[in-house]
Amino acid sequence: MKHGNHDGTGVDRHLHDPLQDRLIPLEPLDLNRVRSIDDLVRAMAKTAFTGRQLGEAADVLEAMARDKDCFVVMTLAGAMTVAKQGLIIAELIDRGVVNAIVSTGALMAHGLVEATGRAHFRYNPDVSDTELYEQGYNRVYDTLEPEKNLDDVEQVMFHVLEDWDPNEVLCSYKLNRQIGEHLSKNAKGQRGILKSAFEKGVPVFVPAFTDSELGLDVALSNRLREGSGRHKLRFDPFEDLEHFASTLLRQKRLGIFTIGGGVPRNWSQQFGPFIELRHRRMGENVPLKRYHYGVRICPEPVYWGGLSGSPYSEAISWGKFVPPAEGGRFGEVFVDATVGLPLIVAAVLERLEKNKEIPSEKAIRQKVAVRK
């Protein structure tokens, strides 16, 4: 007579039935059933490891996009525009999925190159970095940014800064809005992040502004102004902080879509602690707000201890995110963003397009009446 299963410790084990325990079964990824990117990503969600992470992250991004009360902040670090991911970000802005951008300045500068019709090029490993410097080619891993491109960016900045009212204090979101307006007027037929952001009213913040080509252009412009006896332009990063905070305070729910980590991620996430400190230390009557949704694409491992690799669960302890027990929903993918970002975004945009609500006859008649 069999009385039980022994594990070698002398303790009987009761083996459970996974179906009775309501465990979710995995499914083989059958490429014969894949007809679209969305099909592939949904199938990956039913597998394991990074594939499952990617599929689950797409579900969270879709939930953010469908939540009409959710304001989505996208944070950008790394060489995403040099790596030719800029149009994906512009598409998210154009489709109304992303409502604010927080980025490194370098990423916006290299995006300006693309938006003005210039190109980046493949790096030839047979050419040394010393030769590249002498030839005027700046290397970003396997890609080249010609110095001439950055000179063209400086020309855009020159026109924007020359038209700037010296009585108006500079900050990154105001300057990026002006750059976007310049592109909207002068870069016909070209697409870019700042151009889309201007046209859709999406603010673009660069918290570490001086750490960029754009910041250096402002510094050079001020030196020229000073040399010709004109007033220098004043830059105040706290105007960015206050505008970002006031914008998020007006929202019902918040979501964050993070590529990489660095300053853009931390600056965006510190909104929660900033509001809490204003409430606790200064006695301000402000609602305590945290991010409800989060999607993160970054290959940085957690054990280095840096922000780029830290999970959202760690940020809960800082008061930056709503815990899952209270409705928080997060997806984190440990993969190169040039792989994860196109797959996730393409899948979600397919879902949004496929599941658009068909307007009723009454709604169509009302629209026609308004047009008349």
Residue 352 lies in a domain: no
Rounded average pLDDT over 67-72 = 98
Residue 294 lies in a domain: no
At 347, list the tokens.
């899948």
b/e for 126-155, b at 16 or more Cβ within 10 A?
Answer: eeeeeeeeeeebbeeeebbbbeebbebbbe
> In this model, does residue 362 exceed pLDDT 50?
no
Q: What is the mean pLDDT of the chain?
A: 92
Range name among 89-103, 254-268, 325-339, 344-358 with the lowest pLDDT average: 344-358
b/e for 97-120, b at 16 or more Cβ within 10 A?
Answer: bbbbbbbbbbbbbbbbbbbbebeb
Residue 68 is predicted with a pLDDT of: 97
Rounded average pLDDT over 31-48 = 98
Reported as a pLDDT band with limits 50, 70 and 90, residue 232 is: very high
> How many whole angstroms separate alpha carbon 325 and alpha carbon 247?
26
**For the chain, how many residues are written?**
372
Residue 204 lies in a domain: yes
175: containing domain: 88-251
Residue 35 lies in a domain: no
> In this model, does residue 1 exceed pLDDT 80?
no
Q: What are the DSSP calls for 334-345, one per residue?
A: -S-HHHHHHHHH
> How many whole angstroms separate alpha carbon 360 and alpha carbon 362?
5
Residue 370 lies in a domain: no
β strands within the chain, DSSP E = 5-6, 12-13, 70-76, 100-103, 121-122, 137-140, 143-146, 204-205, 253-259, 293-297, 329-333
Q: For the chain, count helices (H), then strands (E).
A: 15, 11
Residue 222 lies in a domain: yes
Residue 355 is predicted with a pLDDT of: 78
Residue 10 is predicted with a pLDDT of: 62
**Measured in whole angstroms, how far is the alpha carbon of residue 59 from the centre of its chain?**
16
Residue 26 lies in a domain: no
Residue 330 is predicted with a pLDDT of: 97
The strand order across the sheet containing 293-297 reads 204-205, 100-103, 70-76, 253-259, 293-297, 329-333
Domain count, the chain: 1
Residue 302 lies in a domain: no
116-120: long-range pairs with CB below 8 Å, 24+: 116/152, 116/153, 116/156, 116/183, 116/187, 116/190, 116/192, 117/187, 117/190, 118/146, 118/149, 118/152, 120/82, 120/84, 120/144, 120/145, 120/149
| % of residues, the chain, pLDDT over 70 | 93
Asked if 222 contacts 151 with a C-beta cutoff of 8 angstroms, the reply is no
Q: What is the pTM of this model?
A: 0.91
Residues 6+ apart with CB under 8 A from 185: none
Q: Using CB atoms within 10 A of its CB, is residue 156 exposed (0-12), middle (13-18) or buried (19+)?
A: buried
Q: Tell me, what CATH number does 177's domain have?
A: 3.40.910.10
Residues 168-227 pLDDT 10s: 999 999 999 999 999 999 988 899 999 999 999 999 999 999 999 999 999 999 999 999
Residue 200 is predicted with a pLDDT of: 98
Return the amino acid letter for 166: P
Residues 315-349 pLDDT 10s: 999 999 999 999 999 999 999 999 999 999 999 99
At 71, list the tokens.
């304001």
